[in-house]
Amino acid sequence: MDKNQDSGINILGILKKYLLEIFDIAHDTNKQATIDEIKSGVYMKGQTAWVLIFSILIASTGLNTSSTAVVIGAMLISPLMGPILGMGLSLGINDIDFLKVALKNFGIMVVLSLTTSFLFFSIPMFQNETPELIARTFPDVRDVIIALSGGLALIIALSRRTKSLNTIAGVAIATALMPPLCTAGYGLATGKWDFFGGAIFLFSINTIFIASATFIIVRFLKFPYEAYANSKRRKLISQIISFFALVILIPSMYMFYELYKKSDFNQKVTILINKLKTEQGILILDVDTDYATKKIEFAVIGKSLSNSDIAQFTKEMNQMGYKDCNFKVLQNAGNIETINKIKEIENSFLSNQQLLVKKDATILEKEKEIFELKSQLISKNETVFPFTEIAKEIKALHPEINEVAYSNAVITNFSKTDTIPSFEVKWNKTFNSKKKTEAIATLQNWLRTKLKNEKVIVK
């Protein structure tokens, strides 16, 4: 029994050691190099400021054209992450002076970004709403998860002795700091304050949770605190930093909770509406929900909902934890009649379409027949000529001719078939045979020239 216990303990020890080796992020950490790198990337001036401006222009263009690839490219070259990492780091190492620098450059970054995007979207031709812009105005709990996970991945990747560029680039894309700022500039330029508010809220979520993630990892890895000669000053700085950390972390937790509840509320409404569609056999359109006021609004087409149906909906929402929901159902007693009328109009439209298709086919067939008849007429006109007049001219040229005949001879050699205009003449019996041969040759050349056809033969 003791041997079995020892064996079990050994297995657990080996497993624990194995798991620690897999998930250990401390052994390959270069703390001082990480601090230096983050501090060097905080400043928004010189080349960094211009790169920021141009990346904002690229992102704004991508949002305006709904080009995801262009927006991703802009996020890859953007230096937006620097001041945010700087804020998280300064809180983690109790460096009040660096926190001031990070906050100052963060403000410069936001102003430059908003100004650039505002100027771009002030041009009338760039003011159309696109799906890429609209997508940045409705943050939910998933954005919090992305920002927090991205921030954790980024600071862990930066803290390694050998940097993982793929991770850093991936985080820049996933956290998407730039598109919300561009959308906020669009809202300012067009006076659409819902766009501005939603985009700034999304940017704030990304900023707070990336900074929080940086703070968490810096403290987890036990980065060295900033050294202060004066112990009282060190204590004061520590208290100030702790206050700023709480100012960031507490709203973060509240924001996460509120966004979670909003997402959960919308999900529960969707589940019940789908259930209502299935059970009642109705069509529900234009669903609009507002978690803050517990408003649920939608339009019904088909069977009208009764008060008991709405009461059941309210009861189920109460059971799911959302009391006092405010329902507004747009419906009328004539919904069935309206649907039947719509179907009648649709059927009439389809019948008319079928008639039009048949009519078009008939017209096409008639046009084809007309074209063929015209072709035949042209062909006939090309072959018909004034035979009587030509015969008289032949008689005038050769009085010895007593009779002229004309026909189109169809000749084939079994590989090709051709039509040959043929003249047959009869001469006076007294006409000399030698002269007859010369006269036939002369007459054939004359007819070929007159009829403009080298195929003409004379017999």
Q: What is the pLDDT of residues 283-301, one digit of tens each?
A: 777 777 777 777 888 777 7
- The DSSP string of 37-69 is HHHHT----THHHHHHHHHHHHHHHHHHTT-HH
Residue 65: pLDDT band (50, 70, 90) is confident
Of 2-6, 48-52, 155-159, 225-229, the least confident:
2-6
Res 383 pLDDT > 70: no
In a domain, 144, yes or no: yes
Distances, alpha carbon 97 to alpha carbons 83, 94, 241, 242, in Å? 13, 9, 11, 14
Question: Which of 226, 250, 267 is where one domain is finished?
Answer: 226
Specify the pLDDT at position 376: 64
Question: Which candidate, 18, 43, 28, places its Cα nearest to that of 156?
Answer: 28
More confident residue, 238 or 101: 101
Specify the pLDDT at position 378: 55
Question: Which of 185, 209, 226 is where one domain is finished?
Answer: 226
Q: What is the mean pLDDT of residues 248-269?
A: 75
Kindly report the average pLDDT of the chain as a whole number. Answer: 77
Give the domain extent around 433: 387-458
Res 100 pLDDT > 90: no
Strand ranges across the sheet with 295-301: 283-290, 295-301, 326-330
Residue 172: pLDDT band (50, 70, 90) is low
Q: What is the mean pLDDT of residues 185-212?
A: 85
456 token code pair? 């003409």
More confident residue, 282 or 402: 402
Specify the pLDDT at position 91: 81
Number of domains in the chain: 2
In a domain, 35, yes or no: yes
In a domain, 376, yes or no: no
Residue 166: pLDDT band (50, 70, 90) is low
Specify the pLDDT at position 8: 60
In a domain, 279, yes or no: no
Residue 21: pLDDT band (50, 70, 90) is confident
CATH number at residue 72: 1.20.1080
Specify the pLDDT at position 390: 80
Distances, alpha carbon 19 to alpha carbons 14, 74, 157, 219, in Å? 9, 38, 19, 21
Residue 174: pLDDT band (50, 70, 90) is low
Question: Which of 226, 242, 274 is where one domain is finished?
Answer: 226
Of 37-51, 103-117, 391-405, the least confident:
391-405
Specify the pLDDT at position 247: 66
Q: What is the mean pLDDT of residues 449-453?
A: 79
Instruction: Compute how many other C-beta atoms are within 10 angstroms of the C-beta atom of residue 71.
Output: 24
The pLDDT > 90 percentage for the chain reads 3
Specify the pLDDT at position 15: 77
In a domain, 33, yes or no: yes
Specify the pLDDT at position 173: 58
Specify the pLDDT at position 192: 86
- The DSSP string of 343-380 is HHHHHHHHHHHHHHHHHHHHHHHHHHHHHHHHHHHHHH
CATH number at residue 427: 3.30.70
Residue 375: pLDDT band (50, 70, 90) is low
Indicate the length of the chain as a whole number. Answer: 459
Specify the pLDDT at position 71: 83
In a domain, 212, yes or no: yes
Beta carbons within 8 Å of 43's beta carbon, 6+ residues apart: 82, 101, 105
Q: What is the pLDDT of residues 199-252, one digit of tens each?
A: 888 888 888 888 888 888 888 888 887 766 555 665 666 666 667 666 666 766
Give the whole-angstrom CA distance, residue 36 versus residue 95.
13
Res 11 pLDDT > 90: no
In a domain, 302, yes or no: no
Of 177-186, 220-229, 380-389, 412-421, the least confident:
380-389
Q: What is the pLDDT of residues 109-148, one digit of tens each?
A: 999 999 999 999 998 888 888 888 887 777 767 777 777 7
The answer to whether the beta carbons of residues 391 and 426 sit under 8 Å apart is no
Q: What is the mean pLDDT of residues 257-262?
A: 77
Q: What is the mean pLDDT of residues 58-82?
A: 83
Specify the pLDDT at position 240: 67
In a domain, 422, yes or no: yes
Specify the pLDDT at position 165: 53
* Most confident of the following: 47-61, 333-347, 432-446: 47-61
